[in-house]
Structure formats: C-alpha cells, structure tokens
C-alpha cells in the first residue's frame, strides 16, 4: 500500500499541494483500499471541490478505470440538482485516475438511519430520490447500486424542507447508449450491493433495467420507516437467495404506526416481478405526494447500524481514516468499490488480521442457481414439506390508483404540476396517481396561449379536454382610407410633372450609387 493510501505514514502525503487540472489538492478527506479523496480548491476562483483518486496499481486496470470514469460520464449526462456534479476527470501526473466533483457538506443517509427519521423526512427523501433517479432513467442510465451509502443529504434553504438529496457513485451504472463507453452487463456477472439488490441482479441476469433501481428504492424506503431493510440474514449467499425466493415481511409488522398508503407504495416497489412494480419513478413521486405526513403519529425507529447482513462485527475499518477527517468523506465511496465478485472489506476483531470477504462470481451464480432450482427450475424431487408450516405473512394491500388524461387544443402543450411548477409532460398527457380525496392540479401552457389550470379529482379515472385561448395581440394601426391614398398619390404625381415650379429635386437615389 502506498503512502497516499496510508496518510499516517512517515513522510506525509506527497500529493498535497499538487494540481489536478486547475484544482490544487489541499487536504485529505479519507482513504481506503481503492484510493483517496482530497479536498481541493480552484486556483483562480477559490471554488471548493472533492477529488477522488484511484491508487496507481488500480489505475492500470482498464476495467476498473472504465467503471471509475463511468461515474463521471453518467453524472455529467444527467444534469439534475439531485445528482452530484462532476467537473472533470482524467489522469494525474502521478498515474492516478481521478474525478473532480462538487464538495458536499452534509450527512450520508447511512448516518441518518442510525438516528431514526421523522416520517415527514422519510417521505421527502423518498420523493427527492425518485426525482433524481427518474432524471437518470430518462437519460437511459440505470444506477444499479442504489443504497444509503450512495445517498447524501445536504442543507439547501431553497427546498421546502431545507434538505437536498444527492445521489452519488454511478461507477457501475449501465448506460443504454450503443457507443464504446457503454458499460454492458455480462450474463452471470453480479454487480451491486446484496442488501439492496433486485432479484434479477441477484440472479446475474443480463436484462437489468430501471425497475431494478425501483426495487432498491423500496428496500431503502422500507429501512427508513422501520430501521432495517426487508431481509436481514447471516451471510451474503442467504441474502441473495432471500431476494430471489422469499417474500419480505409486511412493513406494518416492523412498524405498525406506518400508514397503509405508505406501506402499499413500499411493497409495490419490492415485487419480485419487475412488471408488477411501479414502472416509472414519476408514479412513486405521485403516490408519495398523496401520503399525508401528519396523518399518523409514526414511530421513529433508529436503524440497526450496518443492516442486512449479520456478521457479529463492523464492516468499516476506521484505521485508514486520519483522526482529523470527517466521516462525511465516506459519501465519496473510497473505502470500497462494489465490482463483480467482490464485497465490502470487513475489519476483524481487535488483535486479529483484516480479512477481505470475497465472493467469486461463480459462487454467487451457484447460489442463484440453487435459488432457481428451489423455484422449480430442475427435475429433482422437492424436499418433504415441514409438518407444521408457518402461515405466510399477510401481503400489504395493493395501492389503488386512478388514471388521468389531459388533452388540449392545440396539442403539444406543457403540463406542469400546479403546486411547484414541475414539468410532467405534454398533451395528450396520461398519468396514474394514487387514489385520494384530494384533487390533482395541473397548469396547461402553450406558447402564444394563456395558461389554463385544470383540477381532476383523484377518486376515479378522469379526463379533461382543454381548449386554450390565444393571447390577444395589440390592434394594428388603421390603414388610411382608399380615397385619402388616391388623393395623396394624385398630388405627388402633379407635383412631379410640374417640376415643383423649378428644377427637379434630386433624391437619395440620385446621390448614392447602389
């Protein structure tokens, strides 16, 4: 390990004071097995940034560098306030691959979960996460590693709650473009973090789309409401199998005070079949908007720490972090990477040696194969059923939705949400929203026409056909009467013929040669 990855070694850090592009490395924020994160400052503007450096030996691995740079390309393509800004990426003179990104001051969702979240904040974080991921999905980008470690909450007085959710680490994101920069998923390769992976990811399926992120969102919203994710198991293999074949306990069994409407949203996200989940994050946004955060006194439940896998020990090594650095540096994902066949580094008990828990891709696929066999994929005889099987937990009620349609004359008008001006689409506009006693209010806008507000009740399917009114144009000055025109023309002709009583007056056409 180089001195760069171990800031406590003699001789200090040789990269402090060096430049990455126009940014000067000021101090180290954190370090780990993959690389280092530095606080940096633009030499001319004084703007702060965070610089993420891979170790030189890893910077020589094109596959790892490809995933590393994929984070920069994906984040730059999305351009959404809920996605961390990336300013630059490339290679440092020392051989490190680097990414320059915005400097975040806040707290990772992992830390907030340990304290427990007020229900109003749970809804707001879920809504903002839906919005940010929805922006990525519209750009053809699937994150594939949505988890609390990759969600940072920063102060932002411009938002109603004073918080802004930032999604980080698109390192293993799948880009749907067909160019050479696309990160293609190979069948049988498992990528992601097991606690929050969708069943199709756990199987190593090559068909991963945006609905996999929606499943991960369901895991996070489940954990925010009851302090633990849907599945807590003793090992990674058991955890992967659970995602594939087991139904999660109803959220209300973990926290009975959670409103049924919120539970229904979460359980729909956690459907095994992608076709049974919400198909777009905009549907989750609409459903969460209909849940009243004050409708119930929801119990705040602190998280279980590093939930999901019970190992009897912590899986974060603090030895690589200097005493004067902030734990917030973990949000930049330098203490680990999640790649095919590798899982987080775990710290052994005091006095023991550090052990890396590695899961080879083949081993993971074997676990998935066993799970598929349990589902009836093989011809072997099924094991005998237990004498007294426990009854299956009651499934949360299906979320009732209504279908709304807005058309306009002329068509192609913008449809925006009345309360916050968020753009939703263009007419003819179709949307499914959670059933509610409230109305859905939209503003219909079209250039050259007056805005028109539409309110549709959310108690049943509805349609509104809007005829827009053209903006009135100012009246043009009246044309002179025909007789007046003729009179003016006659006078001009008479004057020209008579010569005006003297020499012919020369006009600009006679003076200037065009």
- Do the Cβ atoms of 251 and 268 come closer than 8 Å? no
d(CA 270, CA 52): 33
The conformation of residue 206, written as its DSSP 8-state character, comes to S
For 28, the enclosing helix (H) or strand (E) is strand 23-31
Residue 309 CA, chain-centre distance (Å), reads 25
- Do the Cβ atoms of 185 and 173 come closer than 8 Å? no
Characterize the bridge pairing of strands 48-54 and 97-102. antiparallel
Question: Which tokens is 335 given?
Answer: 């203490």
In 3-state terms, the chain is what percent helix, strand and coil (to 5)? 30, 20, 50
Give 453-489 as a DSSP string. Answer: EEEEETTS-EEEEEEPPBPPPPPPPPPPPHHHHHHHH
Torsion-angle region of 412 (φ positive above 0: left; ψ -120 to 50: alpha; else: beta): left
CA angle 293, 296, 301 (to 5 degrees): 85
Positive or negative: CA dihedral 256, 259, 260, 266: negative
Instruction: Collect all residues with Cβ–Cβ distance below 8 Å to 302 and sequence separation of at least 6.
Output: 113, 114, 115, 116, 227
Reply yes or no on whether 13 is catalytic: no
Question: Which tokens is 150 given?
Answer: 């990759």
Instruction: Collect all residues with Cβ–Cβ distance below 8 Å to 362 and sequence separation of at least 6.
Output: none
CB-based burial label for 435 (10 Å; 0-12, 13-18, 19+): middle
- In the set 145, 149, 163, 344, the catalytic residue is 145
d(CA 299, CA 225): 8
Torsion-angle region of 305 (φ positive above 0: left; ψ -120 to 50: alpha; else: beta): left
Q: Which residues are catalytic?
A: 145
């Amino acid at each position: 390990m180089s001195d760069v990855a171990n800031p406590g070694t003699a001789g200090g850090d040789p990269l402090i004071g060096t430049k990455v592009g126009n940014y000067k490395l000021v101090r180290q924020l954190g370090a780990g097995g993959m690389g280092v994160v530095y606080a940096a400052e633009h030499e001319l503007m004084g703007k702060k940034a965070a610089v993420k450096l891979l170790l030189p030996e890893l910077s020589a691995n094109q596959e790892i560098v490809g995933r590393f740079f994929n984070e920069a390309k994906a984040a730059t393509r999305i351009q959404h306030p809920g996605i961390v800004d990336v300013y630059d990426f490339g290679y440092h003179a020392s051989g490190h691959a680097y990414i320059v990104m915005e400097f975040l001051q806040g707290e990772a969702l992992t830390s907030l979960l340990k304290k427990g979240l007020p229900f109003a904040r749970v809804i707001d974080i879920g809504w903002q996460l839906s919005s940010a991921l929805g922006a990525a999905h519209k750009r053809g980008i699937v994150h594939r590693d949505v988890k609390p470690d990759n969600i940072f909450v920063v102060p932002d007085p411009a938002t109603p709650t004073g918080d802004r959710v930032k999604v980080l680490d698109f390192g293993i994101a799948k880009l749907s473009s067909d160019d050479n920069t696309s990160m293609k998923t190979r069948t049988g390769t498992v990528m992601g973090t097991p606690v929050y992976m969708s069943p199709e990811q756990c199987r190593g399926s090559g068909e991963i789309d945006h609905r996999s992120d929606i499943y991960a969102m369901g895991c996070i919203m489940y954990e925010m409401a009851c302090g633990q994710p849907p599945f807590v198991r003793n090992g990674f293999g058991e955890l992967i199998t659970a995602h594939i074949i087991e139904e999660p306990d109803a959220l209300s069994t973990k926290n009975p005070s959670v409103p049924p409407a919120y539970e229904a949203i979460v359980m729909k996200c956690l459907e095994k079949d992608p076709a049974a989940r919400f198909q777009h994050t905009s549907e989750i946004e609409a459903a969460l908007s209909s849940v009243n955060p004050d409708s119930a006194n929801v119990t705040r439940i602190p998280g279980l720490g590093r939930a999901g896998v019970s190992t009897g020990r912590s899986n974060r090594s603090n030895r690589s972090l200097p005493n004067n650095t902030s734990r917030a540096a973990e949000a930049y994902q330098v203490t680990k990477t999640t790649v095919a066949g590798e899982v987080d580094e775990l710290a052994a008990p005091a006095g023991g040696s550090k052990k890396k828990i590695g899961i080879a891709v083949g081993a993971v696929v074997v676990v998935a194969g066993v799970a598929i066999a349990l589902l009836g994929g093989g011809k072997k005889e099924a094991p005998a059923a237990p004498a007294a099987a426990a009854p299956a937990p009651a499934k949360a009620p299906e979320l009732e939705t209504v279908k709304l349609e807005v058309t306009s004359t002329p068509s192609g008008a913008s449809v925006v949400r009345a309360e916050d001006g968020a753009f939703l689409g263009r007419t003819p506009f179709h949307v499914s929203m959670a059933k509610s006693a409230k109305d859905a209010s939209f503003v219909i806008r079209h250039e050259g026409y007056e805005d028109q507000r539409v309110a549709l009740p959310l108690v049943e399917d509805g349609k509104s056909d809007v005829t827009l009114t053209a903006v009135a144009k100012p009246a043009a000055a009246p044309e002179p009467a025909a007789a007046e025109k003729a009179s003016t023309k006659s006078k001009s002709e008479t004057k020209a013929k008579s010569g005006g009583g003297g020499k012919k007056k020369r006009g600009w056409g006679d003076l200037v040669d065009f």
